[in-house]
Amino acid sequence: MSDQLQTVDSHSRRDRKTTRRKNYPGRAVVAVTTACALAGLAACGAAGEDAGGSTSGKDGFTIGLLLPDTHTARWATADKPLIVEKVKALCPDCRVTHAYASADVATQQQQIESMIADGAKVLILDPVDDKALRSSITRARDAHVPVVSYDRLAEGPISAYSGYDSEEIGRIQAEELLKAMGSKARGGQIVMMNGDPTDPNTRDLKRGALSVLEGKVKIGRSYYTAEWIPENAFRNMSAAIAQLGADRIDGVLSANDGLAGGVATALKAAGIRPLPPVTGQDADLSAVRRIVKGEQYVTVYKSFEAEANAAAEMAVALGRGEKLDTIATDRVSNGTSKEIPAFLGPLVPVTVGTIKDTVVKSGLYTVDQICTPAVEAACRKAGLVE
């Protein structure tokens, strides 16, 4: 495990020797936060003041950062500050302008147009919809503005991609779920709580999970969860319980930790004890606490720092007209005629028995952050505190 963690927390993939080639559109997550929002770039306050303060230096230029929504906590709390910090370290004279699209395609299209018009030299784009933004990406290409697709693989003439292999995440989730189900891993019944249907990660997560689950368990109900909102997962799970019966659900394949929270709440509201195993991804702090309490079985830890750093490195290199060979050591296909240079981050499953050796050892969380008074007894039982 220590070797895995060393890989997860590395800030560069320059030491990678192999190249993976996949048909991969990439991943997901959820929670609640605040951010500038509704209609466009102007809603984000002082555009261009996130990193650096001037583009007057010889190396200075503007990088536009477009994030998909405001209800996913990681965008504002992790991804944006990490990207800004890395850009500033690599290019002190560069600026980063940012915008959140409120999960609306038209808003994000407008934001892309605004950033191009305002002189952005490179865009880092986490697309609301991977297909619907193809024309906007083509517009950027025609304006000689390269696009780095971030976290979700967009269709169209992008220049690079930084994210994860969502099919592999789905496989990991399914394998861990079967492990937790024990004797019910053959012939048991599960519920699939998939993400938003417009997210390419949702399709790949489901594909990866089904490659493991089919022929082993019965999928009693399968849902898509609009906009990855936990409340929608709660409603879907409540419907599944009503339709299948509280005692006939042996596990839940939940696509991420936000949805897992909604699933766990619905299971508890129905009086189900003990809870069947539930999966997730992203290693949200609330999810780690649920794992300690036995309300979620597993999450998949992905280093946001590695993903963000790679995107920042790609954007700065593209803005300077440099090659991406030492940054993007993978290749992915997004429906265009050529493979896209990519960074695909490492993945580590986290269960109650591996919390210390994963998210704590990596520095993501401290034991004190995890073991609040509300979960202290469970932490003691899990061996996290004495």
Confidence of residue 73 (pLDDT cuts 50, 70, 90): confident
**Cα 184 from chain centre:** 30
Confidence of residue 72 (pLDDT cuts 50, 70, 90): confident
Confidence of residue 122 (pLDDT cuts 50, 70, 90): very high
In angstroms, the CA 312 to CA 292 distance is: 34
Burial class (CB in 10 A: 0-12, 13-18, 19+), 325: exposed
Confidence of residue 53 (pLDDT cuts 50, 70, 90): low
* Statement: 166-297+348-378 belongs to CATH 3.40.50.2300: yes
pTM of the model: 0.80
pLDDT tens column, 215-269:
999 999 999 999 899 999 999 999 999 999 999 999 999 999 999 999 999 999 9
Residue 10 pLDDT: 39
Provide the Cα torsion 366, 256, 41, 11; round to 10°.
50
- Give the residue-averaged pLDDT of 92-115: 96
Asked whether the predicted pLDDT for residue 300 surpasses 70, the reply is yes
Tokens, residue 304 = 């946001």
CB atoms inside a 10 Å sphere around CB 123: 28
Residue 206 pLDDT: 98
- Give the residue-averaged pLDDT of 174-185: 98
Residue 70 pLDDT: 85
Tokens, residue 215 = 């022929």
Query: Of 17-31, 81-95, 109-123, 355-369, where does mean pLDDT reach its minimum?
Result: 17-31
Considering the chain, what is the average pLDDT of its residues? 87
Residues 64/115, Cβ–Cβ less than 8 Å? yes
DSSP sequence for 32-88: ----S-SSSGGGGSSTT-SS-S-S-STT--EEEEEE--SS-HHIIIIIHHHHHHHHH
The β-bridge partners of 189 are 218
In angstroms, the CA 220 to CA 316 distance is: 48
Query: Of 25-34, 48-57, 209-218, 235-244, where does mean pLDDT reach its minimum?
Result: 25-34
Which of the listed CATH numbers 3.40.50.300, 3.90.1720.10, 3.40.50.2300, 2.80.10.50 matches domain 11-163+303-345? 3.40.50.2300
Residue 52 pLDDT: 57
Asked whether the predicted pLDDT for residue 336 surpasses 90, the reply is no
Reported residue count of the chain is 386
Domain with CATH 3.40.50.2300 in the chain: 11-163+303-345, 166-297+348-378
3-state secondary structure of 331: strand
**Cα separation of the two ends of the chain:** 23
- Give the residue-averaged pLDDT of 193-219: 95
Strands 330-333 and 218-224: unpaired
